[in-house]
Amino acid sequence: MDDLQQEFILETRETLELMTAELIAWEAHPDHGSRLDTIFRFFHTVKGSAGFLALPRFEALAHEAENILALLRETKKPISSALVTAILALVDRISGLTNALEQDVEFHEDDDSHLVAQLQNAWAAMDHDAPTEHKADDAGGTEQKTETQSEAIGIAGQQNVARTIRMSLTLLDNMMNGVSDMVLARNEVARHIRDTDSDPALDLAFERLSACIADLRESVGRTRMQKLEGVFAPLPRIVRDLGQELGKDVALECQGNEVELDREMIEMIRDPLTHIIRNSVDHGVESTQERIRAGKAQQATIAIHARQSGNHIVISIRDDGAGIDVDRLVAKAIAANVCTASEAASMTERQKLNLVFATGLSTSDSVSSISGRGVGMDVVRSNIDRIGGSIALQSKSGEGLNITIRVPLTLTVISCLMFSSGGQQFAIPQSAIREITMASGDTVQMRQLGDQHFASIRGQHLPVVGLADLLGLSEVDDDALEDDDPVLMVIDAGAGIHYILAVDHVMDQEDLVVRAGAPAIMASGIYAGTTLPDHGRPLLLIDPNGVAAQAGVSSADQSLLDMNVPANDTAIEDSEDLAMLIFQDCQNDVRALPLSVIERVEDFGIEKIGHSGGKMRLTHDEKAIPLYGLKAVPDAASIKVIKLFDGNTAIYYAINDIVDMHRINRKASLQPVGNVHEDSAISGVFIRDGQQIELIDPHWIFSQFDQDVHRNNDATKPICLLQAADDGWTRQMLAPLVAKAGYDVRYDLREGEEATICIASEDTQNTSPASGAIIALRDKPTNHNNGNSVYRYDRIGLLGALQSHSAPRRAGESS
């Protein structure tokens, strides 16, 4: 019996949420036959189950609602909003009763009669006010037809629903922990394998195990995903109730119900989203009279769209209200001492708009019961910042406001940068880092003002926070900033707080599973949590915002510093500067390519794109040329194609759209990623507006092309001799890379052959045959012998060395 009751509670609660949305949609479009059916069916089900489980109050309430709905269905009267309110009240009561039933307590009110009376009054009022507003009788016939049709669709739809089961969250968390344990155990095995003589068979088996574990980890991660539907479901009700209270007619449009997000993340965005919607209805949307005066549609629209973009979810909330009155906002900011009048005068439009996020500022003139109590957009922003997300505004005066929120897919796995400071390791969320540079770099000047260190990077002055000093880790060496060469991380802590965190060394980037630390640790405010990276020693995750607070860096003295100021003329033009084209590729990911290799971007009609010979090809100049970046013929009339040119060969790369041009400092901003294990097309990652963008390795694309063209043409390739060929690493890791770089890989030479290049390890290079150039490899990243050796995982360096030797041959063989 208990099981049955539990089932009833869960089912009722689930349908209740959907029901609220249905009712409100129905109110907006009262003729919709299938909606009325759904609502009717819900009450009918509740009535049936409640009768079976002997729950008389549920039964009675459902019975009343069912009666009225049945009458409504018969008479085909348009529904009044009073009736919807009355039915919503019934829904609320059923919801309350369900909660009470679950917790096994008495419901605080034991009389439902006034609800029933409200319902009957609403019905009676409709009966009088709208006498026999029958649609023409023939219309009734067609309506009957659509009803049966939609019912048929409904049944077919139900059969296609993927089968699911309910499962306890504890079990899921246990699974997640189990997988984390497994990953750690895997790492330990990996360490042992590295230490012993490698056996290719074991390596292969281990690779497979690693791949399986990675897959499993991803699947288990996915079990934590929930649909956004749960967050969106209460919003129509909020909009409706608020709209009625304020006398505004507002329609809410939700798209992207099915987008999935980690369930912890769902909880974190629920409040900010609700707040934004309330704000929109209260301040954004004008009253009906004002809208008519402005020549707008009488009904205002708030549209929420959610979509997944890479490993982020983008939620945009757009209203067609009055937008933000920037002048009034600035006036308020000056009045509230957020900024001075002269500062305001020099602000860009965007900076002015961002004043909305300043603490203690509200755009509404009067404090209403709904919003505008000072708990405003600053809280929304800090909530979103806390989960590593970002929020952006676009306002058009008189036309509306568009708010875009980006949040990472999951809260538990955060992309972190690991670094050391004061002899201890820490991690920091990658999303907070704008730029990494060395204090000794050409573009940086360190200054001291009183006790505070400052650094100017390309004309921007930012306070420097020495983490070791802040944490009391460097008591001996007090002025570490001046003596050593610290690594400077430009941090965007959100809410307009920018500063530089000085640390000793930056180590590695890793996706880490972050958990909240013990309350006593979190109380310090400096840490965002604890994590366990692959090396198995716990790490503390630094909270960029907390560090700013602890170090006394506030947004007040630098809210005017715009991090996006382009390098000014006095700054030395760095030869490491890299100009890039940022684009959205055909998988909708935003990526970049160096501008130097791009010849032009062209539009091609879709009829010129085809799939032949196992590849996407572009018909151009009567030839079928391989087209990269595309998996299938897209569903569009034409497509943009980037033409890459290396001086000899042209390559075509399909994209969705161009986003922007951007210039970064290769040394400071580009983080190399990936390793030689993977056939990676990405040469690095950089951060632009808080978004990670992958830089595509053009060399990789050209090497792919090279394979296509020269696959059966080994004779023309230069020969590369690999020494220590019995070592598994050489055959499995090095050989494919060398082959891809356009060489004929040999482990020994035939009579009369000469190797163009020879690759040997650092300590055996002296014994190599004297023919051709030699590339020496070393095992450690640091170069102890000061020789000309290349670190064996320095893919760029290795490819560079290979390329420099093959270049003359290349130029000669091109057609």
Partner 1 sequence: MNTLYLRVCLNGRDVVFPAAKVESVVNVDQSVAVPNVEPYIAGLFAMRSKVLTLIDCQWFITGQKAAIKKSSMAVVVDVGGHVYALLVDAVRDIFDTDANIKELPSSPGAGWETLGSTILEENGEALLIIEPENLINVHQDIAA
Cα gap 585→604, rounded to integer Å: 15
Q: Does 521 bind partner 1 (CB under 8 A)?
A: yes
Query: How many residues interact with partner 1 (rule CB under 8 A)?
Result: 32
At 148 the three-state DSSP class reads: helix
- Binding segment for partner 1 among 108-116, 296-304, 520-528, 582-590 (CB under 8 A)? 520-528
Q: How far is the CB of 549 from partner 1 (least distance, A)?
A: 13
The β-bridge partners of 758 are 721, 774
- Residue among 236, 389, 486, 517 that touches partner 1 (CB under 8 A): 517
State which of residues 183, 355, 721, 799 lies at the interface with partner 1 (CB under 8 A). 183
* Cβ distance to partner 1 smaller for residue 67 or 180: 180
Residue with Cβ nearer partner 1 (184 or 444): 184
- Work out how close the CB of 439 gets to partner 1 at its nearest, in angstroms, rounded to a whole number: 22
Among 141, 519, 566, 781, binds partner 1 (CB under 8 A): 519
The only residue of 184, 225, 238, 246 in contact with partner 1, by rule CB under 8 A: 184
Residue 639: other Cβ atoms inside 10 A: 22
Shorter beta-carbon distance to partner 1: residue 518 or 572: 518
Helix (H, G, I), strand (E, B) or coil at 430: helix
Cβ nearer to partner 1, comparing 530 with 756 = 530
What is each CA distance from 278 to 10, 86, 268, 595, in whole angstroms? 28, 23, 17, 45
Q: What is the CA radius of gyration of the chain?
A: 32
Token readout for 450 is 């009183």
Question: Residue 5 interacts with partner 1 (CB under 8 A)?
Answer: no
Q: Is 470 in the site for partner 1 (CB under 8 A)?
A: yes
Residue that the structure tokens 């190399």 belong to: 672
DSSP letters spanning 229-249: HHHHTTHHHHHHHHHHHHT--
Could you tell me the two tokens for 538?
A: 């716990």
Q: Which two tokens stand for residue 793?
A: 């995982």
User: Least distance (Å) from partner 1 to the CB of residue 526?
Assistant: 6
Please state, as a whole number, how many other Cβ atoms lie within 10 Å of the Cβ of residue 714. 12
Question: CB atoms < 10 A from the CB of 594, how many?
Answer: 17
In terms of Cα–Cα distance, which of 108, 114, 67, 63 is closest to 86?
114
3-state secondary structure of 641: strand
Kindly state the smallest distance separating residue 522's Cβ from partner 1, in Å. Answer: 9
Report DSSP state, residue 375: -
Strand order in the sheet with 773-778: 744-746, 719-722, 757-761, 773-778, 790-791
Instruction: Please give the single-letter amino acid code of residue 431.
Output: S
Contact 53, 86 (CB under 8 A): no
CB of 184 to partner 1, least distance (A): 5
Based on the shown chain and the rule CB under 8 A, indicate whether residue 530 belongs to the binding site for partner 1: yes
Among 56, 200, 538, 613, binds partner 1 (CB under 8 A): 538
CA 702 to chain centre: 30
Q: Does 756 bind partner 1 (CB under 8 A)?
A: no
Token pair 């700013």 is at which residue?
548
520 scored as a contact of partner 1 (CB under 8 A)? yes
Which one of 218-226, 243-251, 254-262, 519-527 is the stretch in contact with partner 1 (CB under 8 A)?
519-527
Question: CB 462 → partner 1: shortest distance, Å?
Answer: 23
Residue 99 Cβ, how far from partner 1 at the closest point, in Å? 24
**Residues β-bridged to residue 664:** 578
Is residue 523 a contact point for partner 1 (CB under 8 A)? yes
Q: Does 424 bind partner 1 (CB under 8 A)?
A: yes
Segment interacting with partner 1, rule: CB under 8 A, options 55-63, 530-538, 573-581, 587-595: 530-538
Among 99, 121, 148, 177, binds partner 1 (CB under 8 A): 177
Nearest approach, Cβ of residue 537 and partner 1 (Å): 6
Work out whether 172 is an interface residue with partner 1 (CB under 8 A). Answer: no
Under DSSP, is residue 155 helix (H, G, I), strand (E, B) or coil? helix
Candidate residues 398, 536, 605, 787; the one interacting with partner 1 per rule CB under 8 A: 536
- Residues of this chain that interact with partner 1 (CB under 8 A) are 177, 180-181, 183-184, 422, 424-425, 470-473, 515-521, 523-524, 526-527, 530-532, 536-540, 550
